[in-house]
Amino acid sequence: MDKYIIAVDAMGGDHAPGETVKGSVQALAENNDIKIILLGIEDKIKQELNKYTYDKDRLEIVHTEEIIETEDNPTSAIKQKKDSSMVVGMNLVKEGRAMALVSAGNSGALLAGSTVIIGRIKGVARPALGTLIPNRKGFTFLIDSGANVDCKPQYLLQFAQIGSIYMEKIMGIKDPRVGLINNGSEKGKGNALTKEAYPYLEECETINFIGNVEARDIPMGAVDVAVCDAFVGNIILKYTEGFAKAIMGMIKDEFMSSFMSKMGALMAKGAFKNLKKRFDYSEVGGAPFLGLKKLVVKAHGSSDAKAIKGAVNQAYIFISSSLNESIEEAVREKDDSGETEE
């Protein structure tokens, strides 16, 4: 069968290109169905590749001269650094030479550039970032977690529809529960955006809307899809990341506080390891930028090899499950019913 071709921005992220190349090689070793295109400064990429044994028939290097740095202005960087690993990667995806792009680079540049270069699915008002957040029962898909700070009610409706498709197609959850993040569970709560968005979600027949949910409901697994604008979503995401690190640290401190607690830690080592794994972002790999014509996965800026491998594997799952086709179909059905995104 033909390989699933995934472009990887080898120069993006805090630990590039070392960890990016290593993670890509690991992904190749675990999945015979993929081919990887590494984008970046060829000499540096080859220097890293020389450390490993890999299938050379399934790895290609596309040399680029420029790098979009974390501190670069997103819009200016996309316009001025056309020979950067990120921009060239977007163009490969647009032209069909790659099926997806994975990058741990500048988030703003990746989101802005992907929207302009790759383009939105027809009918999608705003593409959105979605992130899986662990809860007591599994995962909640937080959307939007970083792309659209200012939203209209109709955008939140589309986020809900896209999030539902993701949880059903990728996570295997039938009829996923959708909640609108708010400062109270009662109908009529919230700011102007959530009050206006509520009836849109309530009247939509293609989602299982259960009403407003508070942030504290997410860790308890009250919803499968949590819908919000990116201002709220990114705060929740960053707080969750920080709290997870803090609570793990506090548990470790308690375990090390006395001889008896150290003995208890030995007995609970397996459970503690499993808990830590559930909160490890590298297990998931990255956040899909959904609503684009082609797939883009945003990996964490501090991604190590494990996280890059996870992001590549995630891209493979998205492509092979025809996630984009399902989103296109859902949007097309909405358009056919006479509704518009505005």
What is the per-residue pLDDT for 160?
96
Q: Which DSSP string do the residues of 121-169 spell out, in sequence order?
A: PTT-SS-EEEEEEE-SSSEEEEESSSS-SS--HHHHHHHHHHHHHHHHH
pLDDT at 327 over 90: no
**Chain centre distance of CA 32:** 23
The helix or strand, by DSSP H or E, that contains position 272, with its residue range, turns out to be: helix 269-278
Q: How far, in Å, are 114, 135, 140, 141, 165 from residue 173 at the CA level?
A: 28, 15, 11, 11, 9
List phi, psi (to 5°) of 210: -110, 0
136-142 average pLDDT score: 91
Q: Are strands 128-134 and 139-143 parallel, antiparallel or unpaired?
A: antiparallel
Query: Which has the minimum average pLDDT: 32-41, 184-193, 194-203?
Result: 184-193
**Chain centre distance of CA 35:** 21
Structure confidence by residue, pLDDT tens digits, 206-249: 999 999 999 999 999 999 999 999 999 999 998 888 888 888 78
Q: Is the peptide bond before 335 cis (omega within 30 degrees of 0)?
A: no
The type of residue at 207 is: I
Q: Of the candidates 105, 309, 146, 135, which has an alpha carbon nearest to the alpha carbon of residue 222?
A: 135
What is the per-residue pLDDT for 245?
81
162 contacts 128 by C-beta, under 8 angstroms: yes
Q: What's the chain's average pLDDT? A: 89
3 state SS of 103: strand
As a whole number of angstroms, the distance between CA 243 and CA 192 comes to 29
pLDDT at 262 over 90: no
Q: What is the token pair recorded at 83? A: 């020979």
Confidence of residue 337 (pLDDT cuts 50, 70, 90): very low
Q: What is the token pair recorded at 125? A: 């008002």
Q: How far, in Å, are 177, 191, 192, 212 from residue 187 at the CA level?
A: 17, 12, 13, 7
Confidence of residue 272 (pLDDT cuts 50, 70, 90): low
As a whole number of angstroms, the distance between CA 333 and CA 5 comes to 29
151 contacts 229 by C-beta, under 8 angstroms: yes
What is the per-residue pLDDT for 244?
80
In DSSP terms, 209 is beta-bridged to 178
What is the per-residue pLDDT for 59?
97
106-113 average pLDDT score: 92
Q: What is the token pair recorded at 71? A: 């501190």
137 contacts 219 by C-beta, under 8 angstroms: no
Structure confidence by residue, pLDDT tens digits, 273-296: 666 666 665 566 688 999 999 999
As a whole number of angstroms, the distance between CA 73 and CA 68 comes to 9
Please report, rounded to a whole number, the percentage of residues in the chain having pLDDT higher than 90: 69
List phi, psi (to 5°) of 329: -65, -45
Confidence of residue 315 (pLDDT cuts 50, 70, 90): very high
Confidence of residue 1 (pLDDT cuts 50, 70, 90): very low
Where do the domains of the chain lie, and which CATH numbers do they carry? 1-124+291-342 (3.40.718.10), 128-282 (3.40.718.10)
